[in-house]
Amino acid sequence: MGKKTVLCGNKTVTNMKIRITLLCLSSLIALAPTVPAANITWVSDQLLDANGLLPDQGYINLLTSAGHTVSRALAATPSAAALNASNLVILGRSGASGSFDTAAETLVWNTQVTVPLISTNSYFSRSSRLGWYTGGPTQPDQLLNPLTFTAGAVSDYIKGASTGASVTEAVIYPDASVDIRGTSLITDVPVAGATTIATTLAGAATATFIASWPSGTTLAGTSAGQILSGYRLQFLTGNRESATAPNNGIGSAGYENLSAEGEQMFLRAVELALNNGVVPVPEAGTSSLALLAGTLLLTRRRSRA
């Protein structure tokens, strides 16, 4: 028996060609971006490691490979005007918390920076610094961090198709002593208004791994009374520096220690922050492609009748 054919406009198209067209359209739909590429400012101390490299360069590479433009800024000398010129600010793990230990210093990050901001460092977000948490601080270090996600659209979006088995992994870079303390977690209670997105166990305690704070949140600790002027997100990543020389300086902190699944979750967290905590939806062009694919599929089904 010969192959069935259907008419599409003035051309004769085989079922095989329709299947190929549908496959191509499906691929385009899957690849269509939900959030435009952004200008991101990455904040750290920019201290070189033992090999003369910036330890957190892996994150810059990850973000640029996703289409974003990334510039660097120093944590010790922030310019609110320059930071607000970007679409998103990310506080990297390769930075000393001494730049965040007075109310005058935290005021810049909490109230003067109005664009969305992500902290990857619990030593910044704790109560004695930015004040996103109350009590403590209690910050155990852990190499592998399997995540438990809370219910909700935001959690589902960041998790994606991931199993959540472990968002981080052990990195041996530049030598085995660097990452012995893993990612610094935080087991304190977030201030009122926060949304916990994912947690991990640190021994018997539950640590907040991913969380968000909306604009208007009142802060605690060193930053007591300050009110957030924009959306804030915590996504913990980057190793803590070694406890012993020669790798016990900030130049040995903040290596990219995300698993493959963790990298994709981090990129989706960036998209979420760029959208001020609202789960991104497909662009209009994506919907048009979906409609065209559906029309071709309906035409193919009718041809079988």
Cα–Cα distance for residue pair 10/109, rounded to 1 Å: 61
Question: Do the domain assignments include residue 155?
Answer: yes
> Which position has the token pair 């190499």?
143
Question: Do the domain assignments include residue 279?
Answer: no
Same-domain check for residues 19 and 94: no
pLDDT beyond 90 at 48: no
Q: Could you tell me the CA-to-CA distances from 69 to 119, 192, 265 in Å, in that order?
A: 18, 34, 19
Cα-atom radius of gyration of the chain, to the nearest Å? 23
Name which of 222, 184, 197, 183 is nearest 102 in CA terms.
Answer: 222
pLDDT beyond 60 at 13: no
Name which of 250, 232, 202, 246 is nearest 94 in CA terms.
Answer: 250
- Show Cβ contacts of residue 49 under 8 Å, excluding neighbours closer than 6 positions: 55, 174, 247, 251, 252
Residue 140 near residue 253, CB atoms below 8 Å: no
Same-domain check for residues 12 and 74: no
Any idea what the CATH number is for the domain that residue 256 is in?
3.40.50.880
CB atoms within 10 A of CB 104: 7
Residue 207 DSSP label:
E
Same-domain check for residues 261 and 207: yes
Residue type, 19: R
- 3-state DSSP: the chain helix, strand, coil percent, rounded to 5? 30, 20, 50
Same-domain check for residues 59 and 169: yes
Least confident of 63-72, 86-95, 244-253, 267-276: 244-253
Read off the pTM. Answer: 0.81
Same-domain check for residues 264 and 243: yes
Percent of the chain with pLDDT over 70: 77
Query: What's the domain range around 201?
Result: 35-274
pLDDT digits (tens, 9 = 90+) for 98-126: 999 999 999 999 999 999 999 999 999 99
pLDDT score at 304: 53
pLDDT score at 16: 52
Same-domain check for residues 17 and 156: no
Question: Do the domain assignments include residue 99?
Answer: yes
CB atoms within 10 A of CB 229: 19
pLDDT digits (tens, 9 = 90+) for 148-202: 999 999 999 999 987 766 777 765 444 555 566 889 999 999 999 999 999 999 9
**DSSP 3-state of 128:** coil
Query: Into how many domains does the chain fold?
Result: 2
Same-domain check for residues 183 and 260: yes
Least confident of 13-22, 44-53, 129-138: 13-22
Same-domain check for residues 291 and 207: no
Question: Do the domain assignments include residue 57?
Answer: yes
Cα–Cα distance for residue pair 254/55, rounded to 1 Å: 6
Same-domain check for residues 166 and 18: no
Q: Could you tell me how many residues make up the chain?
A: 305
Burial 67-90 (b: 16+ CB within 10 A, else e): ebebeebebeebebeebbebbbbb
Same-domain check for residues 66 and 25: no
Same-domain check for residues 161 and 179: yes
Same-domain check for residues 40 and 139: yes
